[in-house]
C-alpha cells in the first residue's frame, strides 16, 4: 500500500509537471531547467516532441544514478520520466494567457510543486535532479538551490538561441521553481530535539529502534519537584518529526519536548536514508 501510494503521488505530480511545460512555458518558448530545458530546446528546434527528447537525454544519467541512489529510486525516477514524457505527447501545447511573465511565474510554481512532491516521494524527474540529490545527501545544501545553480546554463542557451528577454523569463521561472521545491522537499532542514522524561530508557530504546541517530542522555532533576529525570538530545530532519511525535506521546504523554530548527550540523550526521520509516 505504501509503494502504491508513493507511485500514485509520483504519477499525479509527473502529469502536473507536463501541464506546467505545455500550458505555461513551452507556448512562450520559456524553458524549464536542466535536462527538461535542453529537451524543450531540441523539441522546439527539431521535429521530435519534447517528451521523446526527455527520455533520450535521461537514459545515461539514470544509468549513472543506478549504483549511487539505488534501484528503487532510479526505478521510480524512470517511471516519473516515462509518465511526464507520455503526458507531454497528449497534453496540447496551448497558451492559457498571452502574458509571458505571468506564464513564467505560474509555470515555475506548478513545476516546483510537481518536482517537490516527486522528490519527496523517493523519485526524481531525472537529469539534474539526480545530480542535485547526490550533492544534497553529502552536504547540508537545499536541493532547490543546487538545481538552480546547475540550471543557470539553460538560461544562457535560451538567450543565445531565442532571445535574452525570454532568457530572463526562463531565469525567473527556474528561480521560482527552486524556491517552491525547497518548500515541499524539506529533508535538508535539521531540527534539534530535546526530551525531558521520567521514562528515559523506554524513550531512548524506541528512538534508537526507529531512527538512525545518535542520542545524548543526561541526568536531570526537576527544580520544583526534585524528581530524577532523563534529558535526551538528538538532531533529526523534518521528515523524521512525524515519527518522533507519536512515538514520544505513546510512551510518556507528560514528557517535556523542545524542537528547534538547527542552522548547521558538524560532525557525524547521516544525511542519506536516515530511517526506513521516513517517507523519502
Same domain, 175 and 240: no
pLDDT in tens, 21-44: 899 988 887 876 667 777 777 877
In this prediction, residue 276 has a pLDDT band, given cuts at 50, 70 and 90, of: very low
Same domain, 24 and 80: yes
Burial track 40-61 (b if 16+ CB lie within 10 A, e otherwise):
bbbbeeeeeebbbbbbebbeeb
Same domain, 163 and 28: yes
Same domain, 14 and 89: yes
Q: Who has greater pLDDT, 31 or 112?
A: 112
Same domain, 7 and 121: yes
Same domain, 239 and 197: yes
Q: Mean pLDDT, the chain, as a whole number?
A: 79
pLDDT for 274 equals: 39
Classify residue 77: in a domain, yes or no: yes
pLDDT > 70 fraction of the chain, expressed in percent and rounded = 78
pLDDT in tens, 43-95: 778 888 777 887 888 787 777 677 666 677 778 888 988 898 899 889 998 98
Same domain, 178 and 237: no
Residue 11 has pLDDT above 70, yes or no: yes
pLDDT in tens, 124-150: 777 766 766 666 666 655 655 666 676
Same domain, 9 and 125: yes
Residue 277 has pLDDT above 50, yes or no: no
What is the three-class DSSP state of 261? strand
Classify residue 271: in a domain, yes or no: no
- Boundary-marking domain end, from 157, 184, 211: 184
Classify residue 270: in a domain, yes or no: no
DSSP state, residue 22: I
pLDDT (average), residues 182-191: 71
In this prediction, residue 251 has a pLDDT band, given cuts at 50, 70 and 90, of: very high
Q: Who has greater pLDDT, 98 or 270?
A: 98
- Tell me the C-alpha distance between 44 and 29, whole Å: 8
Same domain, 86 and 34: yes
Same domain, 104 and 241: no
pLDDT (average), residues 9-25: 92
Compute CA distances 32 → 36, 185, 257, whole Å: 6, 19, 43
Number of structural domains found in the chain: 2
Classify residue 257: in a domain, yes or no: yes
In this prediction, residue 244 has a pLDDT band, given cuts at 50, 70 and 90, of: confident
Residue 160 has pLDDT above 70, yes or no: yes
Same domain, 165 and 196: no
Cβ neighbours around 122 below 10 Å, total: 22
**Domain hosting residue 219, numbered range:** 190-262
- Tell me the C-alpha distance between 271 and 240, whole Å: 12
pLDDT for 146 equals: 65
Same domain, 153 and 231: no
Amino acid at each position: 500500500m505504501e509503494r502504491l501510494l508513493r507511485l500514485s503521488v509520483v504519477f499525479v505530480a509527473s502529469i502536473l509537471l507536463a501541464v506546467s511545460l505545455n500550458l505555461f512555458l513551452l507556448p512562450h518558448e520559456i524553458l524549464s531547467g536542466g535536462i527538461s530545458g535542453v529537451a524543450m530546446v531540441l523539441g522546439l528546434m527539431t521535429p521530435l516532441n519534447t517528451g521523446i527528447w526527455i527520455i533520450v537525454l535521461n537514459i545515461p544519467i539514470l544509468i549513472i544514478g543506478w549504483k549511487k541512489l539505488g534501484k528503487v529510486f532510479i526505478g521510480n525516477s524512470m517511471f516519473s520520466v516515462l509518465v511526464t514524457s507520455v503526458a507531454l505527447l497528449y497534453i496540447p501545447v496551448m497558451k492559457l494567457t498571452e502574458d509571458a511573465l505571468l506564464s513564467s511565474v505560474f509555470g515555475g510554481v506548478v513545476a516546483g510543486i510537481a518536482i517537490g512532491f516527486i522528490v519527496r516521494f523517493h523519485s526524481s524527474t531525472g537529469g539534474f535532479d539526480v545530480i542535485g540529490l547526490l550533492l544534497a545527501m553529502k552536504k547540508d545544501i537545499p536541493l532547490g538551490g543546487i538545481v538552480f545553480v546547475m540550471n543557470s546554463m539553460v538560461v544562457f542557451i535560451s538567450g543565445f538561441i531565442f532571445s535574452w528577454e525570454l532568457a530572463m523569463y526562463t531565469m525567473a521561472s527556474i528561480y521560482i521553481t527552486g524556491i517552491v521545491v525547497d518548500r515541499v522537499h524539506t529533508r535538508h532542514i535539521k531540527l534539534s530535539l530535546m526530551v525531558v522524561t521520567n521514562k528515559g530508557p523506554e524513550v531512548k530504546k524506541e528512538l534508537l529502534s526507529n531512527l538512525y541517530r545518535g542520542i545524548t542522555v543526561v541526568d536531570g532533576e526537576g527544580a520544583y519537584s526534585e524528581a530524577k529525570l532523563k534529558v535526551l538530545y538528538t538532531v533529526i530532519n523534518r521528515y523524521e518529526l512525524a515519527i518522533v511525535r507519536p512515538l514520544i506521546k505513546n510512551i510518556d504523554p507528560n514528557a517535556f519536548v523542545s524542537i528547534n530548527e538547527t542552522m548547521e550540523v558538524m560532525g557525524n550526521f547521516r544525511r542519506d536514508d536516515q530511517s526506513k520509516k521516513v517517507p523519502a
